Chains A and B, each alone.
Chain A
Amino acid sequence: MSVQIAELQGKNGLPPVKFGEEVSGAETLLRCLILEQVEYIFGYPGGAVLPIYDSLYGSYFKHILTRHEQGAIHAADGYARATGKPGVVIATSGPGATNLVTGIATAQMDSVPLVCITGNVAQNLIGTDAFQEANITGITIPITKHSYFVRDIRDLPRVVKEAFHIATTGRPGPVLIDIPKDVSNAVAPFTYPDQVEIRAYKSAVEPTDEEVQAFVQAISESKRPVIMAGGGIISAGADQELLAFAEAARIPVINTFMGLGGFPGVHELALGMPGMHGSYTANQALLNADCVIGLGARFDDRITMGRTKEFAPKARIVHVDIDPAELGKNVSTAIKVTGDVKSTLKKALPLVSRCDSEEWIDQLKKWQEEFPYSYKKDGDVLKPQAVIELLYQSTNGEAIVTTDVGQHQMWTAQYYKFKHTRSFLSSGGLGTMGFGFPAAIGAQIAHPDRTVIAVVGDGGFQMTNQELAILSQYKVPVKVAIINNQCLGMVRQWQELFYDNRYSQIDLTCSPDFVKLSEAYGVKGLRASTPEEAKAVWAEALAHDGPVVVDFRVAQEENVYPMVAAGNTLDQMVLGDE
Chain B
Amino acid sequence: MQRHTIAILVNDQPGVLTRVATLFGQRGFNIDSITVGGSEEPGLSRMIITTGGDEQKIDQLMKQLYKLIDVITVTNLSENAYVSRELALIKVNASPSQLAELNAIVEPFRATIVDVGPASLIVQVTGDTEKIDALLVLLESYGITEVTRTGSMAMARSVVPVPANV
> Do residues B18 and A141 form an inter-chain contact, with CB atoms below 8 A?
yes
Which residue of chain A is the closest to B59 with respect to CB atoms? A328
Q: Which residue of the partner chain, among A149, A323, A328, contacts B56 with CB atoms under 8 Å?
A: A328
Segment among A193-201, A280-288, A542-550 that sits at the interface with chain B: A193-201
- B26: chain A residues within 8 A (beta carbon): 142
CA distance A325 to B61 in the complex (A): 8
A168 to chain B, nearest CB (A): 14
For residue A270, CB closer than 8 A to chain B, the reply is no
Task: Judge whether A15 is part of the interface by a CB distance below 8 angstroms.
Answer: no
Residues of A within 8 A of B60 (CB): 325, 328-329
A146 in contact (CB, < 8 A): yes
B67 and A198 contact, CB distance less than 8 A? no
Does B117 sit at the interface, judged by CB under 8 A?
no
Q: Which residues of the partner chain A approach B72 to less than 8 Å between Cβ atoms? A: 199-200
- Chain A residues lying within 8 Å of B14, measured Cβ to Cβ, are 149
Q: Which residues of A contact B30 (CB under 8 A)?
A: none
When C-beta atoms are compared, the residue in chain B nearest to A329 turns out to be B60
Pairwise interchain contact B18-A166, C-beta atoms closer than 8 A: no
Taking a contact as CB atoms under 8 Å apart, the answer to whether A324 and B66 are in contact is yes
The answer on a CB contact under 8 Å between A323 and B67 is yes
Interface residue ranges of A147-187 to B (CB < 8 Å):
149, 166
* Chain A hits for B63, CB < 8 A: 324-325, 329
Scan residues 171-223 of chain A and give those whose CB is less than 8 A from a CB of chain B.
198-201
Q: A137 an interface residue at 8 Å Cβ cutoff?
A: yes
Contacts of A149 in B (CB 8 A): 14-15
Per-residue CB contact flags for chain A residues 306-333 toward chain B (1 = under 8 Å, else 0) read: 0000000000000000011100110000
Residue of B14, B26, B63, B72 ringed by the most chain A CB atoms within 10 A:
B63
With A141-B22, A166-B69, A201-B69 as known contacts, state yes or no: A325 contacts B64, CB within 8 Å: yes
Give the Cβ gap from A322 to chain B, nearest Cβ, in Å: 11
A138 within 8 A of B: yes
A113 to B163, CA, bound (A): 32
**B73, CB-defined interface residue at 8 Å:** yes
Q: Which positions 14-66 of chain B face chain A at CB distance < 8 Å?
A: 14-15, 18-19, 22-23, 26, 56, 59-60, 63-64, 66
Instruction: Give the residues in chain B near A324, CB-CB below 8 Å.
Output: 63, 66
Give A201's nearest chain B residue, CB to CB: B69
Report chain B residues within 8 Å CB of A146.
68-69
Task: Kindly state whether residue B89 has any CB partner on chain A within 8 Å.
Answer: no
8 Å CB contact of B22 from A142, A145, A199, A329 = A142
Residues on A with C-beta less than 8 A from B7 are none
Residues in A neighbouring B56, C-beta threshold 8 A: 328
- A146-B69, A324-B63, A325-B60 are contacts. A200–B166 as well, Cβ < 8 Å? yes
CA distance A265 to B68 in the complex (A): 36
Query: Would you call B125 an interface residue if the criterion is a C-beta within 8 Å of the partner chain's C-beta atoms?
Result: no
Looking at the complex, which one of A142, A199, A325, A328 makes contact with B67 (CB distance below 8 Å)?
A: A325
B71 within 8 A of A: yes
Q: What chain A residues lie within 8 Å of B11 (beta carbons)?
A: 199
A198 touches B69 (CB 8 A): yes
Query: B15 contacts A137, CB within 8 Å?
Result: yes
How far, in whole Å, are A478 and B22 apart by their CA atoms in the complex? Answer: 40
Q: A200 to B166, alpha carbons, bound, how many Å?
A: 5
Taking the nearest CB of chain B, how far is it from the CB of A214, in angstroms?
Answer: 19
**Which chain B residues border A200 with CB–CB below 8 Å?**
66, 71-73, 166
Shortest C-beta distance, A544 to chain B (Å), equals 46
Instruction: Give A478 Cβ to nearest chain B Cβ, in Å.
Output: 35
Contacts of A166 in B (CB 8 A): 69
Which residues on the B side are within 8 Å of A199 (C-beta)? 11, 72, 166
With both chains docked as a complex, state the minimum distance between the C-beta of B70 and any C-beta of chain A, in angstroms: 8
Give the Cβ gap from B54 to chain A, nearest Cβ, in Å: 13
**Contact B66–A325 (Cβ < 8 Å):** yes
A145 to B18 alpha-carbon distance, docked (Å): 14
Query: What is the CB-to-nearest-CB distance from B68 to chain A, in angstroms, rounded to a whole number?
Result: 8
Chain A residues with CB under 8 Å of B68's CB are 146
* Chain A residues with CB under 8 A of B59: 328
Report the minimal beta-carbon distance from B59 to chain A, rounded to whole angstroms.
8
* Cα of A137 to Cα of B14 in the assembled complex, Å: 11
Q: How far is the CA of A138 from the CA of B59 in the complex (A)?
A: 26
Q: Cα distance A200–B66 when bound, in Å?
A: 8
Contacts of B18 in A (CB 8 A): 138, 141
With A198-B69, A323-B67 already in contact, the answer to whether A141 and B166 are too (CB < 8 A) is no
What is the CA–CA distance of A198 and B22 in the complex, to the nearest angstrom?
A: 22
B74 smallest CB distance to A (angstroms): 10
Expressed in whole angstroms, the minimum distance between the Cβ of A353 and any Cβ of chain B is 33
| Least CB distance, B62 to chain A, in whole angstroms | 9
The smallest beta-carbon distance between A294 and chain B, in angstroms, is: 17
What are the 9 A-B residue pairs with the smallest beta carbon separation, nearest first? A325-B63, A146-B69, A200-B166, A200-B72, A141-B22, A142-B26, A325-B64, A324-B63, A141-B19
Given contact pairs A145-B67, A200-B72, a sample of 16 additional A-B residue pairs in the complex whose CB atoms are under 8 Å apart? A138-B18, A141-B22, A142-B22, A142-B23, A142-B26, A146-B69, A166-B69, A199-B166, A200-B66, A323-B67, A324-B66, A325-B60, A328-B56, A328-B60, A329-B60, A329-B63
List residues of A whose CB falls within 8 A of some B CB.
137-138, 141-142, 145-146, 149, 166, 198-201, 323-325, 328-329
Task: Report 21 cross-chain contacts, Cβ distance below 8 Å, ordered by A residue.
Answer: A137-B15, A138-B18, A141-B15, A141-B18, A141-B19, A141-B22, A142-B22, A142-B23, A146-B68, A146-B69, A149-B15, A199-B166, A200-B66, A200-B73, A201-B69, A324-B63, A325-B63, A325-B64, A325-B66, A329-B60, A329-B63
